[in-house]
Structure 1
Amino acid sequence: MAMAMAASSLGLSFSTETNFRALEKPTCIAPVFKASSAFAVAKPIFILHKGRLSSSGTTIIPQAAPVADVEDGNQAETDTVPTPVVIIDQDSDPDATVVEITFGDRLGTLIDTMNALKNLGLNVVKAKVYMDASGKHNKFSITKADTGRKVEDPELLEAIRLTILNNMIQYHPESSAQLALGAAFGLMPPKEQVDVDIATHITISNDGPDRSLLYVETADRPGLLVDLVKIITDINITVESGEFDTEGLLAKAKFHVSYKGSAIIKPLQLVLVNSLRYFLRRPSTEESSF
């Protein structure tokens, strides 16, 4: 019912008062925490500390024990390191969350990544690998183990994303120089930081009479997906479904949004764009944050 009321595909149930903190050994508990009336109460899988989930805290990322070699057993360096890409797609499959991972031809079978996702209470129900000009694509469908349904909690979606990126850094350390997460967890942090003012682009277009398409491109950081959804829903705009892409140091989000069952009118579009732009340029972060 909450999904039908507020976010028919993403579900997007989240707490506005939680913050993942880095711990050496994540402990799995499921406290109940506050959620807006439009959303169902989520069951987080980490210890949550009071405060806002955003880039002000580092998200706990479940991971397997480190290994000396990369997943496919090949650590050979090349002149050009491909751009890591992680896509979380909520649109293409009504019954599962589709994840696609690309890192040139360097990815192995990603067995460890799938095991790490299982530690989040998820099942990988199907997977396939295909090649094209951009490299090897590992694509798999994920459902929640307890319900058999797609992931609907933005905090869990963010945990999925960061888990995948962390495993990529762990098994392909050369990728850390091209990922925002590499600044916190990688052996080789990015050589250049993205200028948020330059990198941020926001557009809204009509997507039929009942909804609009919101596109956001900005500098990546942990907690970004949850923060974007919170900003949107704080002004009573419904997030119905979407796609969240991590492309190197950038994050690109596409959300189908509506207001009271209709496409967003121009004045409200302006409010949404200004709210997002203000937050992305001036996030509520601590000086020592990621």
Structure 2
Amino acid sequence: MAVAMASSGTTLRLYSNLKAVEKLPIAKAPLFTCSFGLDPAQGFCILSKKRFPSSEGRLVLQASQATAVEGESSQETDQVPIPKVIIDQDSDPDATLVEITFGDRLGALLDTMNSLKNLGLNVVKANVYLDSSGKHNKFAITKTSTGRKVEDPELLETIRLTIINNLLEYHPESSSHLAMGAAFGVEQPSQQVDVDIATHIRVYDDGPERSLLYVETADRPGLLVDLVKIITDINIAVESGEFDTEGLLAKAKFHVSYKGKAIIKPLQQVLANSLRYYLRRPSTEEASF
């Protein structure tokens, strides 16, 4: 999996360029290559000069602010649901699964699918199901160039921001529930992002060959890329995982290992301390995972 860093530059570029331009260039810097869903023995990062093809490196915004919110007349007095975007690298060995939920307000999401295809991706709508939280729209995504799942954290982050951007454009009422709404939504979040939201970090053993890392923190653009870089910077391999956006929160689950083995307790503490130092959020003992 390739990570384009430095972390702060990537974050600022992803964050600022998404706001006002129609195309977002991605790979301006050399890439670091490391495993994400691959053999844990390949978990160390090496410098590479590979860059994205132009079709993958441009975020083309398809949405229009003038588009009417679906069902607005009957729902404008309803409680606005919490938007959720889940990027799942674990459930399918051949494809990245994406799930989008926003109550019953999402339509066919053709605009979102088209925006993702403009990133050089094959997008197939897997299924739609209903439960108490609303309609869940699932997509199976592969890279057009390889026919395989997406293994680059920067491209995964671009996928996430593309989906969230379309939510903000087509459903402006979602902006008060999304971290990105603080910058360019029509309504500011009631909580102060990065201030009022606590960070939780847990590491658990998951057999002799890998551990499970859970991170819950305030969402922001570039977070997925930065988390992977922090982990791999201390020579811990990221094998696979899931990244959930739930309103203002980001929840990450990573399968991690060190030299093909589960992470020992002292290294677990180093990993947790490194993440806490970087995220610099208030911390409590209670978490939702």
Query: Which TM-score band (shorter chain)?
Result: 0.7 to 0.9
Following the alignment from structure 2 to structure 1, what is the Cα–Cα distance between the partners of residues 236 and 212?
A: 12
Tell me how large the CA RMSD over aligned residues is: 2.5
Shift of 1:157: 0.3
Identify the match of residue 43 of structure 1 among 51, 68, 81: 51
Query: Which secondary structure does the structure 2 equivalent of 1:93 belong to?
Result: coil
- Residue 201 of structure 1 aligns with which residue? 200
Following the alignment from structure 1 to structure 2, what is the Cα–Cα distance between the partners of residues 45 and 189?
A: 36
Following the alignment from structure 1 to structure 2, what is the Cα–Cα distance between the partners of residues 134 and 240?
A: 30
Q: Deviations 1:257-280 (Å, cap 9, x if unpaired)?
A: 000000000000000000000100
Following the alignment from structure 1 to structure 2, what is the Cα–Cα distance between the partners of residues 264 and 186?
A: 41
- Residue 15 of structure 1 aligns with which residue? 4
Shift of 1:60: 8.0
Shift of 1:26: 1.8
Between 1:79-88 and 1:13-22, the stretch displaced more is 13-22
Following the alignment from structure 1 to structure 2, what is the Cα–Cα distance between the partners of residues 145 and 189?
A: 37
Q: Deviations 1:165-218 (Å, cap 9, x if unpaired)?
A: 010010000000000011112111212214557510000000110000000000
- Residue 62 of structure 1 aligns with which residue? 60
Question: For residues 260 and 127 of structure 1, do their structure 2 counterparts lie closer, same or farther at Cα, with a shift above 3 Å needed?
Answer: same
Q: Residue type of the partner of 2:30?
A: F
Q: Residue type of the partner of 2:112?
A: T
Contact 1:179/1:190 (<8 A) preserved:
yes
- Residue 258 of structure 2 aligns with which residue? 259
Q: Unpaired segments of 5 or more residues in structure 1?
A: 1-10, 47-58, 283-290
- Residue 7 of structure 1 aligns with which residue? none
Shift of 1:71: 6.0
- Residue 287 of structure 2 aligns with which residue? none
Shift of 1:227: 0.5
Q: Residue type of the partner of 1:33?
A: P
Q: Residue type of the partner of 1:15?
A: A
Between 1:67-76 and 1:262-271, the stretch displaced more is 67-76
Kindly report which structure 2 residues correspond to 1:137-156, keeping only aligned pairs within 5 A, or say none.
137-156=136-155
Shift of 1:85: 0.4
Shift of 1:15: 2.1
Following the alignment from structure 1 to structure 2, what is the Cα–Cα distance between the partners of residues 188 and 158?
A: 23
Q: Deviations 1:87-126 (Å, cap 9, x if unpaired)?
A: 0000000000000000011111100000000111111134
Following the alignment from structure 1 to structure 2, what is the Cα–Cα distance between the partners of residues 183 and 160?
A: 20
Identify the match of residue 22 of structure 2 among 16, 22, 25: 25
Contact 1:100/1:137 (<8 A) preserved:
yes
Question: For residues 42 and 207 of structure 1, do their structure 2 counterparts lie closer, same or farther at Cα, with a shift above 3 Å needed?
Answer: farther
Tell me whether 1:136 sits opposite 2:144 in the alignment.
Answer: no
Contact 2:23/2:61 (<8 A) preserved:
no
TM-score, length basis structure 2: 0.83
Shift of 1:14: 1.0
Q: Deviations 1:13-72 (Å, cap 9, x if unpaired)?
A: 1122353251623265866624257356553367xxxxxxxxxxxx98531141523464
- Residue 121 of structure 2 aligns with which residue? 122
Following the alignment from structure 2 to structure 1, what is the Cα–Cα distance between the partners of residues 251 and 122?
A: 25
- Residue 210 of structure 1 aligns with which residue? 209
Question: For residues 35 and 250 of structure 1, do their structure 2 counterparts lie closer, same or farther at Cα, with a shift above 3 Å needed?
Answer: same
Following the alignment from structure 1 to structure 2, what is the Cα–Cα distance between the partners of residues 151 and 73?
A: 34
Query: Which secondary structure does the structure 2 equivalent of 1:272 belong to?
Result: helix
Q: Residue type of the partner of 1:125?
A: V
- Residue 288 of structure 1 aligns with which residue? none
Contact 1:220/1:250 (<8 A) preserved:
yes
- Residue 6 of structure 1 aligns with which residue? none
